[in-house]
C-alpha cells in the first residue's frame, strides 16, 4: 500500500513522491530524475491499484450485462464520466465522450464535424504552436473537402501573435483549433480571446488540452469552447484513455465516427439508427479498466489541488530557467510570460540527442527532438530542442542534478 500525501499549501513532496512507485528506482546507477512529464506523467499508487482491482476483481464487459460484475464495471465506468464532467466543468455528463486520447479526439471532430461543416473554400485556423496531432487530421479533412489551413503566427518568445487574428478570421473560417498550452515551449495561450474572436465570425473552436489538464483549471462552460480534449496519461492517469468534451448541440448533429456495437439504437440490413450521445461516439468495447483508473487520476489531482500543483511547478520552472541561463552556451527556447512547467533549451555545439543521452547516463530522463511540432521547430530554424518538463513530484535537487549533468557535458565531449 502506498501512503497518501496531505493536501493544501506547502506540499509535502517527499510524501507525494512515495505515492509513485516508479520514482524510487536507480537508472544507470543514479536515482531516477524524471523530467519527461510532457510526454507522459508517472502514475500514483491509486491509479495502478484501480487497474489491478478491476482486472483481479470485476473484469466484465459493460452496459450490456446484467450480472454483478458487469454492473460493477459499468458503475465504475460511468462514474468516471461524471468525474470528467466535473473536472472539465461541462454542463452534462452526456457531453463527455471517452476516446483513446487527444489524437483520437481531434480526429473524431475533424472527421465527424469536418465532413458536415466544411466545404470547398472554407478555412480552418490553427496555430504555429500545434502538435502534429492538431495539424495533420485537419490537413486530411481539408484536402478531402477543398478547404485550406491558416496559421496564427508565433512570436520570438514563443507566444501567439493574436494581433493577426483580425486578418486571419473571416466568415470563411469554420473551425479554429489551438492548444491550451504548448508541449514544446510550455506557452499558455490566451484561449479566451481566441474563442471570443472566433465566435464573432461564427467559427467553432476546439481546444487541445493535452498539456493543460494537469496544470490549469478548466471550465468549458466559462470558456464557451465548442470542443475540449484531454489525455489521461499526461495527468497521472493511464495511457490509452482520454476525454472529448463537446457541446450537446454539436454532438447531436455530428455523424458517428466509427460504426459498431453500442453506438446503435437499431440495426437492420436496410437502415441503422444511432444511439444517443455520448454512446453514439463510443463504438465497441471501450477501454474499461483505464477509464475506471482515470477517475483516480482526477481524485489525485483534486486531492493535491491544481492550485498547489501549479505553484510548486512554477517554482521549479522559474528555478530551472534561471539555472540554465547561468550556464555558458545554453539558450532557452520558449520564454512566454505565461507557461506550464516545460522548458526547452539548446546547448551550444551539442546535438540535443547527445545531451539527452549524456543526461540519461546520469539517470535523468529528458526528451529531445522536435516534440511532434516540426513546423514550430522550422519557425525557429532548429531541428529540435532538449525539453525538461516538470510534475508535482519533481524537486529543486533534481534540477540541480540536471544542471550539474549539463555543465559536465561540454568537457565530456572534448
Ligand atoms: N497535443 C499536445 C499539445 C500534446 O502534447 C500531445 C502529446 N504529446 C498530443 C496532442 C497528443 O496526445 P496523445 O498522444 O495523448 O493522443
DSSP states along 328-371: TTEEEE---SSB-SEEEEEETTB-HHHHHHHHHTTTEE-EEE-T
Give per-residue pLDDT as tens, 252-295.
999 999 999 889 999 999 999 999 999 999 999 999 999 999 99
Q: Residue ranges of the chain with pLDDT lower than 70?
A: 1-9, 410-414
Is the domain spanning 49-303 CATH 3.40.640.10? The answer is yes
Task: Name the residues annotated as catalytic.
Answer: 372
What per-residue confidence (pLDDT) applies to 7? 43
Fill in the DSSP letter of residue 120. T
Tell me which of 3.40.50.12780, 3.30.70.1060, 3.40.50.300, 3.90.1150.10 is the CATH number of domain 7-31+305-413. 3.90.1150.10
pTM comes to 0.96
What strands lie across the sheet with 173-179, from one edge to the other? 96-99, 242-246, 227-231, 204-208, 173-179, 123-127, 148-152
Give per-residue pLDDT as tens, 207-227.
999 999 999 999 999 999 999
On whether the CB atoms of residues 410 and 358 are closer than 8 A, the answer is no
User: Ligand 1 centre and the CA of 133: distance in Å?
Assistant: 7
What per-residue confidence (pLDDT) applies to 113? 81
User: Ligand 1 centre and the CA of 387: distance in Å?
Assistant: 15
- Find the residues whose C-beta lies inside 6 A of ligand 1: 101-103, 131, 133-134, 179, 183, 208, 210-211, 231, 372
Q: Say yes or no: do domains 7-31+305-413 and 49-303 share a fold.
A: no
Query: Cell numbers 477517475 label which residue?
Result: 295
The domain limits of the chain are 7-31+305-413, 49-303
Give the pairing of strands 227-231 and 242-246.
antiparallel
Q: Which of 36, 41, 208 to mutate to test the pocket of ligand 1 (most atoms within 8 A of CB)?
A: 208
Amino acid at each position: 500500500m502506498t501512503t497518501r500525501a496531505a493536501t493544501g499549501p506547502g506540499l509535502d513532496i517527499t510524501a507525494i513522491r512515495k505515492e509513485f512507485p516508479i520514482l524510487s528506482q536507480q537508472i544507470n546507477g543514479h536515482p531516477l530524475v524524471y523530467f519527461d512529464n510532457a510526454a507522459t506523467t508517472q502514475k500514483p499508487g491509486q491509479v495502478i491499484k484501480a487497474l489491478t482491482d478491476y482486472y483481479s476483481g470485476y473484469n466484465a464487459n459493460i452496459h450490456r450485462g446484467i450480472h454483478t460484475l458487469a454492473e460493477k464495471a459499468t458503475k465504475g465506468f460511468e462514474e468516471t464520466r461524471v468525474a470528467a464532467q466535473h473536472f472539465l466543468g461541462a454542463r452534462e455528463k452526456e457531453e463527455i465522450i471517452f476516446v483513446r486520447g487527444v489524437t483520437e479526439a481531434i480526429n473524431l471532430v475533424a472527421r465527424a464535424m469536418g465532413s458536415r461543416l466544411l466545404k470547398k473554400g472554407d478555412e480552418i485556423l490553427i496555430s504555429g504552436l500545434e502538435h502534429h496531432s492538431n495539424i495533420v487530421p485537419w490537413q486530411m479533412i481539408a484536402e478531402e473537402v477543398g478547404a485550406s489551413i491558416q496559421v496564427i503566427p508565433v512570436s520570438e518568445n514563443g507566444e501567439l501573435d493574436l494581433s493577426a487574428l483580425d486578418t486571419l478570421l473571416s466568415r470563411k473560417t469554420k473551425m479554429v483549433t489551438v492548444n491550451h498550452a504548448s508541449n514544446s515551449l510550455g506557452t499558455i495561450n490566451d484561449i479566451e480571446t481566441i474563442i471570443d474572436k472566433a465566435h464573432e465570425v461564427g467559427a467553432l473552436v476546439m481546444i487541445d488540452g493535452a498539456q493543460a489538464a494537469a496544470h490549469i483549471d478548466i471550465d468549458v462552460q466559462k470558456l464557451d469552447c465548442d470542443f475540449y480534449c484531454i489525455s489521461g496519461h499526461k495527468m497521472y492517469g493511464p495511457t490509452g484513455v482520454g476525454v472529448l468534451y463537446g457541446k450537446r448541440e454539436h454532438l447531436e448533429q455530428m455523424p458517428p465516427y466509427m460504426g459498431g456495437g453500442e453506438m446503435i439504437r437499431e440495426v437492420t440490413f436496410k437502415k441503422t439508427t444511432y444511439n444517443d450521445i455520448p454512446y453514439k461516439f463510443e463504438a465497441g468495447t471501450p477501454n474499461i479498466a483505464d477509464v475506471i483508473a482515470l477517475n483516480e487520476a482526477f481524485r489525485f489531482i483534486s486531492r493535491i489541488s491544481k492550485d498547489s500543483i501549479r505553484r510548486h511547478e512554477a517554482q521549479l520552472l522559474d528555478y530551472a530557467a534561471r539555472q540554465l541561463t547561468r550556464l555558458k552556451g545554453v539558450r532557452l527556447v520558449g520564454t512566454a510570460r505565461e507557461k506550464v512547467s516545460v522548458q526547452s533549451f539548446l546547448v551550444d555545439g551539442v546535438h540535443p540527442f547527445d545531451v539527452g543521452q549524456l543526461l540519461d547516463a546520469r539517470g535523468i530522463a529528458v526528451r529531445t527532438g522536435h516534440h511532434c511540432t516540426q513546423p514550430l521547430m522550422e519557425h525557429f530554424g532548429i531541428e529540435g530542442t532538449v525539453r525538461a518538463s516538470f510534475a508535482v513530484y519533481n524537486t529543486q535537487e533534481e534540477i540541480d542534478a540536471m544542471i550539474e549533468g549539463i555543465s559536465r557535458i561540454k568537457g565530456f565531449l572534448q
